[in-house]
C-alpha cells in the first residue's frame, strides 16, 4: 500500500516552454501533497504544500508564478514549470499523505532538463 506515482520520469524541454508533472496517489486518498526539488548530490528542499481543493502554500524564495501547483482531486496533484530556463533543470519529487497520519510517501521523481 501507499504507492505514489509520477509522470513523466524524465523530460527534456527547450528554454521558454512549459512542462507539466503529474503526481498520483494510487491506493489512498492524499489530502495533502508536497513538492520537493533536489539538485545533484544535494538534499531535498520543500517547494510547496498543496491541500486538495485549496491554493498551494509556497516556501520562501519559490516563485508561485513559475511553479504552478494544482491539487484538484484527492489522488492527483500537478506541478507546471512555466517558461522553463536551464536553471530550472533539477530532480522534482512529490510526496503525499492522508489525513490519518503525518507520514509521507514519495513518488519516484521527475528529472527535468531544460536546454
Partner 1 sequence: GIQVEQSPPDLILQEGANSTLRCNFSDSVNNLQWFHQNPWGQLINLFYIPSGTKQNGRLSATTVATERYSLLYISSSQTTDSGVYFCAVAGGADGLTFGKGTHLIIQP
- Closer residue to partner 1, CB minimum distance, 37 or 88: 37
Nearest to 82 by CA among 28, 2, 21, 41: 21
Q: What is the largest CA-CA distance in the chain?
A: 42
Rounded least distance, CB 115 to partner 1, Å: 20
| Chain residues 68-87 in contact with partner 1, contact rule CB under 8 A | none
Q: Which residues bind partner 1 (CB under 8 A)?
A: 2, 32, 34, 36, 38, 42-46, 49, 59, 91, 93, 95, 97, 101-106, 108-109, 111
Amino acid at each position: 500500500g501507499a504507492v505514489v506515482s509520477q509522470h513523466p520520469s524524465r523530460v527534456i524541454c527547450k528554454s521558454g516552454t512549459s512542462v507539466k508533472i503529474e503526481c498520483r496517489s494510487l491506493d489512498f486518498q492524499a489530502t495533502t501533497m508536497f513538492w520537493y526539488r533536489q539538485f545533484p548530490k544535494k538534499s531535498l528542499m520543500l517547494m510547496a504544500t498543496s491541500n486538495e481543493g485549496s491554493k498551494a502554500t509556497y516556501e520562501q524564495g519559490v516563485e508561485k508564478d513559475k511553479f504552478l501547483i494544482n491539487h484538484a482531486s484527492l489522488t492527483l496533484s500537478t506541478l507546471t514549470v512555466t517558461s522553463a530556463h536551464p536553471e530550472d533543470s533539477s530532480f522534482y519529487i512529490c510526496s503525499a499523505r492522508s489525513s490519518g497520519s503525518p507520514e509521507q510517501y514519495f513518488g519516484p521523481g521527475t528529472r527535468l532538463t531544460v536546454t
